[in-house]
Amino acid sequence: MPATVAIVGRPNVGKSTLFNRLVGKRLALVDDTPGVTRDRREGDARLGDLEFTIVDTAGLEDADADSLSGRMRKQTEEAIRAATVVLFLIDARVGVTPLDAHFAEIARRSGRPVILVANKAEGRVGGEGAYEAFSLGFGDPVPLSAEHGEGLSDLYDALRPHVDEAAREDAAAGAEDPMRPLRIAVVGRPNVGKSTLINTLIGQDRMLTGPEAGITRDSIAVEWQWRGRPLKLFDTAGLRRKARVQEKLEKLSVADTLRAIRFAEVVVLCLDATQPFEKQDLQIADLVVREGRALVIGINKWDLVEDRAATWKSLREMCERLLPQIRGVPLVRLSGLTGDGTDELLKAVLEVEQTWSRRVSTSQINRWLEGVLERHPPPAVSGRRIRIRYATQAKSRPPHFIVFCSRPQSLPESYSRYLVNDLRERFELAGVPIRLTVRGGSENPFDPKG
């Protein structure tokens, strides 16, 4: 489910006007008369590149529970409980009223994140009224005018963390749904053939291509199927070195590419076979690993390589040496222009996605841990041996393991790397990032003797 944003506030502060603004249609009735909206109304909203469900609610009034106003209030409270985030509106021209303060306390007690919006903030009077909103204790108010569309960029900045987090949780929850498209971001330096590769995969000239670097600016999503599996391909702008990114438009393109990586499940890093593993390629790969995405490296423009056997051997060696943090990452030779190797690329993508989603039972992990400790026990620090008691997998996508031991803060980083590398080899987790957390623990809850 996408993020759900509930608009709440006392009557006549402009909730329905903001609702209409965000859905792009006049779905909700708007009038100066308080109490026009009575039931909850939902709509599909879009703000920039954010997509979410918006809920318009009845104005909050202090009334008996059995009255019409009381039943309307109950509907609004239900909307607050079901929301990902709450937009609490006040009228900036009027300032904070006792009713605003009363219902702000209801929103606060709900436990939901609250974004304070000072609506009708156009003009001097509205600007001054917005400052009063600090007294509600929700932090900086977002001043805007829903009627005139002013201040929506500030609302975007406030909403984005909540919408993004909901999207991440939705991706994790829907991981087992075979009909949900697998999200694949194709990234790399400018002019390595990303758009050409996607055009070849889907069999049409969907992306604008050419010899000029930097043609792609937005992250473009294309839904497609390969052998019955739904896929969602994201073509992205080329990532240059940070020092070279000067123009505002290119900065926006880079931000869009980074967001595509953040919400992908598998990232295909395209390298130019004639100029592979440049510094920027390694930085992009490291970024993908830090974001926790599964990675496949596509060696594009393979049709231009002359001594293929020697080049392939060199590329394999360079990959192992330059990317030790993701040992065993799949390398695929391909040509986006001719289509050679594209089937192998997609096979590698589906295989690495399965690895990324893999869960290992606690009993298997602890049997592995026993063998590891016998072969290579942790070193003594300050003359005291560190005891590792047990381990478990906390989550997948990417695989995240927790090791419980005495004095976790003293366990050397080198030993943690040793555990990660052994985990990768033992449970065949090649090509995916592995998270390892070390915690203190007094006993092993999985030990039958305990």
CA 380 vs. chain centroid, Å, equals 40
Closest CA to 436 of 257, 292, 222: 292
Residue 117 in contact with residue 144, Cβ under 8 Å? yes
CA 400 vs. chain centroid, Å, equals 17
Q: What is the pLDDT of residue 311?
A: 94
Q: What is the pLDDT of residue 401?
A: 93
The first and second tokens of residue 137, run together, are 């204790």
Q: What is the secondary structure of 247-305 as a DSSP string?
A: SHHHHHHHHHHHHHHHH-SEEEEEEETTS-S-HHHHHHHHHHHHTT-EEEEEEE-GGG-
Ramachandran quadrant class, 93 (left: phi over 0; alpha: psi -120 to 50; beta: rest): alpha
Give the whole-number percent of the chain exceeding pLDDT 70.
Answer: 79
- The region of weakest confidence among 36-40, 96-100, 157-161 is 36-40
User: Which pLDDT band holds residue 38 (cuts at 50, 70, 90)?
Assistant: very low
Residue 54 in contact with residue 60, Cβ under 8 Å? no
Q: What is the pLDDT of residue 133?
A: 79
The first and second tokens of residue 11, run together, are 């009557």
pLDDT of 386 above 60: yes
Across the chain, mean pLDDT equals: 81
Q: What is the pLDDT of residue 251?
A: 59
Q: How far apart are CA 92 and CA 119, in angstroms?
A: 6
User: In this predicted model, what pLDDT tens digit does every residue of 50-60 receive, in sequence order?
Assistant: 889 888 887 66
pLDDT of 412 above 60: yes
pLDDT of 266 above 90: yes
Most confident of 65-79, 180-194, 197-211: 180-194
Q: How far apart are CA 281 and CA 275, in angstroms?
A: 10
Burial class (CB within 10 angstroms; exposed 0-12, middle 13-18, buried 19+) of 161 = exposed
CA torsion angle for 393, 396, 399, 405 (degrees, to 10)? -20
Q: What is the pLDDT of residue 243?
A: 52
pLDDT of 66 above 80: no
Please give the backbone phi and psi of residue 90, each rounded to the nearest 5 degrees, phi first.
-125, 165
pLDDT of 27 above 80: no
Please give the backbone phi and psi of residue 392, each rounded to the nearest 5 degrees, phi first.
-155, 160
DSSP state of 408: G
Residue 222 in contact with residue 198, Cβ under 8 Å? yes
pLDDT of 405 above 70: yes
Q: How far apart are CA 57 and CA 41, in angstroms?
A: 7
Give the three-class secondary structure for 46. Answer: strand
User: In this predicted model, what pLDDT tens digit does every residue of 140-197 receive, in sequence order?
Assistant: 889 998 888 888 999 999 999 998 888 777 665 555 555 678 999 999 888 888 888 9
User: In this predicted model, what pLDDT tens digit does every residue of 346-366 receive, in sequence order?
Assistant: 999 999 999 999 999 998 999
User: Which pLDDT band holds residue 383 (cuts at 50, 70, 90)?
Assistant: confident
pLDDT of 132 above 80: no
Counted residue by residue, the chain has a size of: 450
- Per the model's pLDDT, the better-predicted residue between 6 and 64 turns out to be 6
Residue 29 in contact with residue 120, Cβ under 8 Å? no
Three-point CA angle 207, 277, 339, nearest 5°: 40
The first and second tokens of residue 78, run together, are 């239900």
Q: How far apart are CA 119 and CA 90, in angstroms?
A: 6
Catalogue all structural domains in the chain, each as residue range(s) with its CATH number. 4-173 (3.40.50.300), 182-356 (3.40.50.300), 362-440 (3.30.300.20)
pLDDT of 301 above 60: yes
